[in-house]
Amino acid sequence: MPDAPPRIVTIPCLADNYAFLLHDPVTGATALIDAPEAAPIRAELDRCGWQLTDILITHHHGDHIDGVGALCAASGARVWGARADAHRLPALDMALEEGDTVSIGRLTGHVIAVPGHTVGHIAFYFPQVQAVFTADSLMALGCGRLFEGTAAQMWESLQKLAVLPGETWVYSGHEYTAANAQFAATIEPDYAPLRSRMAEIEVLRAKGQPTVPSLMATELATNPFLRAARADVKIAVGLPGAGDVECFAELRARKDRF
């Protein structure tokens, strides 16, 4: 799409949430991915001069859906979310399952089921803009806490995301990266790619800039939760020869206590 390329805007919400606008300038279609609160999203729509047409929900937690009602009432936007969680999401116009697609103007999003943080969590992958919206599944240098699903489920979810192209931008739901980096350094303290990423994160945060999105290739290289299958990571957590899920579960348990 060389002329009038689509745009993605990051909107800080609440204490540390992110919402995202995905805009196709040719058709005017504008999708919001998650709605932590209405006011900053409405302000950004006004600033850009965009009309909200669609709201894509990743999961049912309040800090991802509490703004849906007000934004819908003002815009009449269509609401898309997981069929599995329809009973605890705002009223859905389109109920989604893995493999379904979402049309936002010229852009097509692919629904990926990523249970673990919650059992109905979904991600949206838009190959035309090299973007995947992962919310609280895969996060920058981290992954979501296992509130409902098992370690095996989350590990499988992360594997589905890990096979996306390395040049895919990962739009996750929170600014947790600095704390995630501190944890990652307890696992691989002398790992140079992690150290250099930590330095970049420090610079960004000192300037008050988001560390989201991050490149999938960077996550694959430095995110300890994506590196749980590696022999050296298994040794680092005291589980040489362990299975991948066992190592991932140990990493997640350590992060919970961190």
Find the shortest distance in angstroms from Cβ 11 to Zn ion.
17
66 is catalytic: no
Cβ proximity to Zn ion, 136 vs 250, nearer residue = 136
Cβ proximity to Zn ion, 24 vs 136, nearer residue = 136
Contact predicate 46/22, CB 8 Å: no
Find the shortest distance in angstroms from Cβ 116 to Zn ion.
11
| Binding track, positions 117-136, relative to Zn ion; x by CB under 5 A | -------------------x
Q: Closest by alpha carbon to 217, among 159, 169, 158?
A: 169
The torsion angles phi and psi of 3, rounded to 5 degrees, stand at -95, 140
Contact predicate 29/52, CB 8 Å: no
Cβ proximity to Zn ion, 12 vs 127, nearer residue = 12
The torsion angles phi and psi of 93, rounded to 5 degrees, stand at -85, -30
Pick the binder of Zn ion from 17, 23, 30, 61 (CB under 5 A).
61
Q: How many CB atoms within 10 Å of residue 89?
A: 21
Closest-approach residue to Zn ion (CB): 61
Q: Assess 23 for contact with Zn ion (CB under 5 A).
A: no
60 is catalytic: no
Instruction: Return the beta strands (E) in 78-177 as ranges.
Output: 78-82, 94-96, 101-104, 107-113, 122-126, 131-135, 138-139, 142-143, 169-172
Cβ proximity to Zn ion, 53 vs 153, nearer residue = 153
Residues binding Zn ion (CB under 5 A): 61, 136
